[in-house]
Structure 1
Amino acid sequence: MKRRLLGLLLGLVTTAAIGTAPTAAATPESGLWAGTWATAVQKPSSGLGPNWSEAGFADHSVRQVVRVASGGVSARIRLSNEYGGQPLRLTGATVARAGEGAAVKPGSVRDLRFRGARSAEIPAGGELRSDPLPLLVAPLEELTVTLYFREPTGPVTAHVNAIATSYRASGDHRADTGAAAFTETSTSWYLLSGVEVLAPGKSAVVAFGDSITEGALSTVDADNRYPDELAERLGGKRPVLNTGIGGNRVLTDSNCLGEKATARFERDVVAQPGVRSVIVLEGINDIGMSAFPPDDCLGPTPWVSAAELIAGHRELIKQAKAAGIRVIGGTLTPFKGSFYFSEEREAVRDEVNHWIRTSGEYDAVVDFDRALADPADEDLMLAAYDSGDRLHPNDAGYHAMAAAIDVKQL
């Protein structure tokens, strides 16, 4: 029976890969495809640090390494031009099994095709999926995607704080197995927004939130974000997709920190292939950023009350339930001593957390607050879990967050 199923699936992959019209079973809505890696895309910006998004690429190869959460018998990638003002021309792309740094494992480089062609156009404001590539992908495996742009792209859609190294080379080096040509590095992702695998029955968990979901201040290239740690706990049996954005807020848009959560939830959660449940951890920036003056990067910085923030969470719950997605609320983590702490803001956090724990409006609750708090002062993050800024966990703290999740609730 297993052999027959595998043969059927590989048959679907082969049909789609050579450009024949795909059957209904090969569409993302069919339940055969599941996201195994994802990121939330942002406008081109240097607001959180230098990166290549505003300048874009011209005769450049961009090599990006991602660790998938679960495996499958075929793979395809998703590219986003969400914030592009014009169609973007991709000359070609490859996928390979990652080696050290920018190197890939010899013999593993495979050309990606798009409706049978090596080159493709990503529509303005849209996205592009590659054709399925017959490729056995193992759970928690690292894959390398290399994109080559011969023509100038202009500013490109990105994810600014990847906590992972991307590499750039001048000229066409998409087929290189060695790292020598890739002399420039960045810690952002560009255009690459998802990796999907052919894996019937795999239902994804989306981790949705701000920098604490994104994994800010965890070790670069170590995959120690809390969603990575959760994927390890699940042993590759279910995909975990990370759509956190550093500095993101529930109620307020920002040029540098992403669209507000209530606006981006549809794209970053509901539209992910195979999603079954979502963990929401967001709101600490709504509370804290009223400490700063508004500017072109941050956008407005209003005082946000607990009632307003709860109303925003109710909107996220409504969107999830309308899509048949189980929605799990994460309590807001301690921030005493951080750069935007005050007793008045702490009172808002306490009220929101009380509502998350007791209202019953979320399908389930993950008490990240209590998992990270210092027992001697519950408004303070335990020193062993603190990255040093009293707001973001370190690697041990992210591990503790993942350990606090009751996987049966997912």
Structure 2
Amino acid sequence: MRTLPVSALAALLLAGAAIPPASAESAERGGTRWNGAWTAAVQRPSTNFYPNWSQQGFENHSVRQVVRMSAEGTDLRIRVSNAYGTAPLRLTGASVARAGEGAGVKPGTVRTVRFAGAASVTVPAGAKAVSDVVRLPVKAGERLSVTLYFAAATGPATYHDLAQGAFSYRASGEHLRDTGAGAYTESSLSWYYLEGVEVTGAPTRKAVVTFGDSLTDGYGATLGADDRYPDQLSRRLAADGRPRPVLNLGIGGNRILNDSPCFGEKATTRFARDVLNQPRVGTVVILEGTNDLILGYADASRFPCTAPNTRVTAAELIEGHRALIRAAHAKGIRAVGGTMIPLKGSKTDVLQYPAEAYGAIEAVRDEVNDWIRTSGAYDAVVDFDRALSDPAPGKSDLLNPEYDFGDGVHPNAAGYDAMARAVDLDAL
């Protein structure tokens, strides 16, 4: 595999890190300081972990999406992304409200969302739209429902596949201000077009961005319970008296060095958009590399999403990590490295690999983890590997059974709690 020198990779990241007017550098424009309260890394439409609506898109549909705030504010605004659209996206209307049960919202809290004073907006292909200010006070930990209505056919939809924290709901016709759930007869485990919610009006520390793959995205967490490791880290910070936004920018299946038709651009490409362009980021926690190792041995004829099945070396992965660190540091962002967790016990079809490959995979994992722990390249380290490994003698390359979701690789809710507890809050 041909890789660029670290300096060249970092230069490419920085060249791609131009911040659009509605993002980080405008976080304090006009005296208003905006903070990220929720976000998701957008992906191109695809068939993925779950059945989803991304490839068919929407036509005469209201899409109600539930998201958890990690920061408080008196006012908010939303970001709508058409990053992977091939044509302009016509958003006919939008609303936001405090979430109720399921697709229901709390009466008296529904607010119309406008864009440059208009109820509708057209988002060019490859672009995003940021709404006007919406007066709706929110608290950290509170859930909001954002409803988008598309009258005309959208075509395939920019989306985020693994919305483990909450369901999204779909209704035929315009139901932006419905407080009841009756019209919303379909549900999905993905988010569509909605890229972020920002808040203002309350003192807030700079955000922590958690960046990675399905271990950050939260595969194996309790559906709808917001118990992924970034959620639990947010609660730890609040309980310790130092609340700050914790933004989840994980993508299930993501890799450092290779793009995927389903699992997002490689980390060294998407880092600029997903980390550097967030408003007021202070720290990024990077947990990547597992899929680079495993998917090199996957069978793309059975699982097309895993292509290209490129085997990587420890030196190549370390070079990718160094590029991410340099890009973060160039923007004044603290970089915290997470060690890769045990892989030997994988029981899933996609993540299984030949027995003879285990030694090679483990050797690379050990070398990269040792570099993360000892090189000093990162500003701090979170040892997720040791936090989740089986404590029994001779089993440290296996996931602790108490933390196993059931596939030998992904944690359950207790495992994600162990990951959150492994983070030294002072290191952030």
TM-score of the two chains, using structure 2 as the length reference: 0.88
1:10 is matched with: none
Match of 2:14 in 1: none
Tell me which amino acid in the other structure corresponds to 1:197: V
397-406 or 333-342: bigger deviation = 333-342
The alpha-carbon deviation at position 294 of structure 1 amounts to 3.5
- Would you say the 8 A contact 1:33–1:200 is kept in 2? no
CA contact (8 A) 1:277 1:326 kept: yes
SS in structure 1 at match of 2:209:
strand
Which one-letter code corresponds to 2:316 in the other structure? E
State which drifts further: 209-218 or 41-50. Answer: 41-50
Alpha-carbon separation, structure 2, partners of 1:321 and 1:382: 34
Distance 1:159 1:287 in 2: 23
1:113 corresponding residue in structure 2: 114
Residues 94 and 26 of structure 1: CA distance in aligned 2, closer, same or farther (over 3 Å): farther
Does the Cα contact within 8 Å between 1:69 and 1:139 map onto a contact in 2? yes
Q: C-alpha deviations, 1:217-248, integer Å up to 9, x for none?
A: 11110001000001111118200000000000
**Cross-structure match for 1:272:** 278
Aligned partner of residue 381 in structure 1, secondary structure: coil
The Cα of 1:297 is off from its aligned counterpart by: 2.7
Aligned residue number for residue 292 of structure 1: 298
Q: Which moved more, 1:200-209 or 1:392-401?
A: 200-209
Structure 1 gaps of 5+ residues are: 1-21
| 1:328 correspondence with 2:336 | yes
Q: How far apart are 1:26 and its partner, in Å?
A: 10
What is the match of residue 221 of structure 1? 224
Size of the alignment, in residue pairs? 389
Give RMSD over aligned pairs.
Answer: 1.8
- In 2, the alpha carbon distance for the partners of 1:225 and 1:142 equals 15
Contact 2:80 2:128 in 1 (8 A): yes
Specify the alignment match of 1:212 in structure 2.
215
Offset of residue 122 of structure 1: 1.3
Q: 1:293, CA displacement in angstroms?
A: 3.0
CA distance in 2, matches of 1:43, 1:401: 29
Judge conservation of contact 2:77–2:199 (CA < 8 Å) in 1. yes
Match of 1:351 in 2: 367
Taking the aligned partners of 1:370 and 1:27, their CA distance within structure 2 comes to 40
After TM superposition, the score normalised by the length of structure 1 is 0.92
Instruction: Name the SS of the counterpart of 2:97 in structure 1.
Output: strand
Question: Larger deviation: 270-279 or 330-339?
Answer: 330-339
The secondary structure found in structure 2 opposite 1:379 is: coil
Are positions 1:56 and 2:72 aligned together?
Answer: no
SS at 2:387 equivalent: helix
Task: Tell me how far apart the structure 2 counterparts of residues 192 and 216 of structure 1 sit (CA, whole Å).
Answer: 20
Out of 98-107 and 285-294, give the one that drifted further. Answer: 285-294
Equivalent in 397, 402, 406 of residue 388 of structure 1: 406
Provide the secondary structure at the position in 2 that maps to 1:45: coil
SS in 1 for 2:414: helix
- Secondary structure class of the residue paired with 2:398: strand
Q: Which residue of 2 aligns with 1:310?
A: 318
Identity, in percent, stands at 59
Q: Deviations over 1:46-84 (max 9, x none)?
A: 132310011000000000000011101110111110000
Q: Deviations over 1:257-307 (max 9, x none)?
A: 000000000000000011110000000000111111346532211111111
Q: Which runs of 5+ in 2 are unaligned?
A: 1-20
TM alignment of 1:7-156, pairs within 5 A: 27-30=26-29, 32-156=33-157
> Which residue of structure 2 lines up, in the alignment, with residue 319 of structure 1?
327
For residue 218 of structure 1, what is the amino acid of its counterpart?
A
